[in-house]
């Protein structure tokens, strides 16, 4: 790795860091815009003005916003996520187990969708213009242009209502056997796999087609290389960077999908926790969840960018 690549990667990381600061700023101030006084909301209608005043003091609500922001950030960096308004539990405890559940869901989805999407995307690009390619393209556009909940409800309708293979809703608390586990994961994973794969197929196909259009691939064709050889020896090694980039980018769509899927299937993950927190207006919980999501998203898109930089042979 030479200096140029290193400086590019470093500047990308710096941009990610600056973005993270701006994002945390945005998240903090969006949540402090809340109309109404947090202290009086917490204490309820029967609170005396003195009690409200006392709580405001205790929570440092009278301090200027910038001071509270700095205190919040420092707390985050030290691993102190604050205390939930709704049930007085430390936010870190509430998030812990659920975060692992969400990661599991995302991991299993990635395990299924990446091989499926790569196979379909690359073969569609190889057979560009064929009936197969057209079917794949139409299906992916179809999946991309409908809301995630429609995919989820359709999956329930097909697999649970008509075929009766799976239960309609998943509950992770009464798991007794492997088949139970499969049944619980099946529906959310199927739904998410559809959503993610569609994005990934589209991007992979575009990346491979772009490489197939280059002069050196045309050269390979002209010198008489067979079609598979042309694709596997000449095009794919060069398309690897863009493909990995596409995979990382499409995995970032997991974040949006997971919010819907966890809600509809009652999956005890962090997204469900956040949606519930929004309905109870539990600010510390919302802030922490939002930061975790933004961090994950930023991590994925930064990885995608860095892979794109590293895989560019001109910079090597």
Partner 1 sequence: MTMTHSETKSDRISGTRLGYRFNIIGMVGLSVILFWALIAILAPLIVPYPVGEIVDLDYFGPMSRDFWLGSDYLGRDMLSRILMGARYTVGLSLAAVTIACFSGVMLGMIAAVAGGWLDTVLSRFLDALNSIPSKLFGLVVVAAVGSSIPVLILTLSVIYIPGAYRFARALAVNINAMDFITVARIRGESTLYLIRSEILPNIVGPVLADLGIRFVFIVLLLSGLSFLGLGVQPPYADWGALVRENIGGLPFGAPAVMAPSFAIASLTISVNLLIDNLPKKIRDRSE
DSSP 75-101: HHHTT---B-TTT--BHHHHHHHHHHH
Q: Give 235 or 304: the residue with its C-beta nearer to partner 1.
A: 304
Using alpha carbons, list the distances in angstroms from residue 65 to 37, 68, 230, 266.
14, 5, 61, 36
Class of residue 91 by CB neighbours under 10 A (exposed 0-12, middle 13-18, buried 19+): buried
Tell whether residue 13 is a contact of partner 1 (CB under 8 A). no
Distance CA(83)–CA(285), nearest Å, equals 8
Tell whether residue 34 is a contact of partner 1 (CB under 8 A). yes
CB 241 within 8 A of CB 315: no
Distance CA(241)–CA(5), nearest Å, equals 15
The minimum distance between CB 169 and partner 1, in angstroms, equals 9
Using alpha carbons, list the distances in angstroms from residue 144 to 38, 52, 90, 198, 269.
40, 49, 38, 6, 24
Q: Give 135 or 219: the residue with its C-beta nearer to partner 1.
A: 135
Binding mask of the shown chain, residues 155 to 194, with x at each position contacting partner 1 by CB under 8 A: -xx--xxx-----x--------------------------
Using alpha carbons, list the distances in angstroms from residue 8 to 13, 132, 300.
9, 40, 17
Q: Give 150 or 315: the residue with its C-beta nearer to partner 1.
A: 150
Tell me the window of 128-136, 150-158, 212-220, 308-316 that interacts with partner 1 (CB under 8 A): 150-158
Tell whether residue 305 is a contact of partner 1 (CB under 8 A). no
What is the distance between the terminal CA atoms of the chain, rounded to a whole angstrom? 7
CB 190 within 8 A of CB 143: no
Tell whether residue 14 is a contact of partner 1 (CB under 8 A). no
Q: Single out the residue of 204, 252, 288, 303 in contact with partner 1 (rule: CB under 8 A).
A: 252
Q: Give 193 or 252: the residue with its C-beta nearer to partner 1.
A: 252
Bridge partners, 83 (sequence order): 90
The minimum distance between CB 236 and partner 1, in angstroms, equals 27
Tell whether residue 31 is a contact of partner 1 (CB under 8 A). yes
The minimum distance between CB 194 and partner 1, in angstroms, equals 14
The minimum distance between CB 219 and partner 1, in angstroms, equals 26
The number of CA neighbours under 13 Å toward the Cβ of 214 is 15
Residues that bind partner 1 (rule: CB under 8 A) add up to a total of 50
Q: Give 128 or 281: the residue with its C-beta nearer to partner 1.
A: 281
- By the criterion CB under 8 A, which residues form the site for partner 1? 15, 18-19, 22-23, 26-27, 30-35, 141-142, 145-150, 153-154, 156-157, 160-162, 168, 252, 255-256, 259-260, 263-264, 274-275, 277-279, 281, 283, 286, 290, 293-294, 297-298, 301
């Amino acid at each position: 790795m030479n200096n140029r690549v290193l400086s590019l990667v470093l500047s990308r990381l710096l941009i990610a860091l600056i973005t993270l600061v701006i994002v945390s700023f945005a998240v903090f101030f969006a949540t402090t815009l809340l109309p109404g006084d947090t202290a009086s909301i917490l204490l309820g209608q029967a609170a005396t003005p003195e009690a409200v005043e006392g709580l405001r003091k205790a929570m440092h609500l009278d301090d200027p916003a910038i001071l509270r922001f700095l205190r919040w950030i420092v707390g985050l960096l030290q691993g102190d996520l604050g205390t939930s308004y709704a049930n007085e539990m430390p936010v870190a405890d509430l998030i812990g187990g659920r975060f692992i559940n969400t990661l599991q869901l995302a991991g299993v989805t990635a395990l299924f969708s990446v091989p499926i999407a790569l196979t379909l995307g690359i073969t569609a690009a190889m057979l560009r213009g064929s009936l197969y390619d057209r079917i794949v393209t139409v299906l992916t556009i179809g999946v991309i242009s409908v809301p995630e909940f429609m995919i989820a409800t359709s999956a329930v309708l097909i697999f649970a209502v008509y075929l009766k293979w799976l239960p309609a809703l998943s509950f992770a608390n009464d798991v007794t056997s492997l088949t139970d586990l499969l049944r619980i994961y099946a529906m959310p994973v199927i739904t998410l796999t559809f959503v993610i794969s569609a994005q990934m197929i589209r991007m992979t196909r575009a990346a491979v087609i772009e490489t197939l259009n280059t002069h050196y691939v045309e050269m390979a064709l002209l010198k008489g290389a067979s079609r598979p050889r042309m694709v596997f020896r000449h095009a794919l090694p060069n398309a690897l960077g863009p493909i990995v980039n596409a995979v990382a980018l499409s995995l970032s769509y997991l974040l949006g999908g997971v919010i819907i899927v966890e809600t509809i299937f009652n999956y005890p993950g962090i997204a469900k926790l956040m949606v519930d927190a929004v309905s109870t207006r539990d600010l510390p919980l919302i802030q922490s969840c939002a930061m975790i999501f933004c961090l994950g998203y930023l991590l994925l898109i930064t990885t995608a960018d860095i892979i794109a930089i590293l895989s560019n042979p001109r910079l090597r």
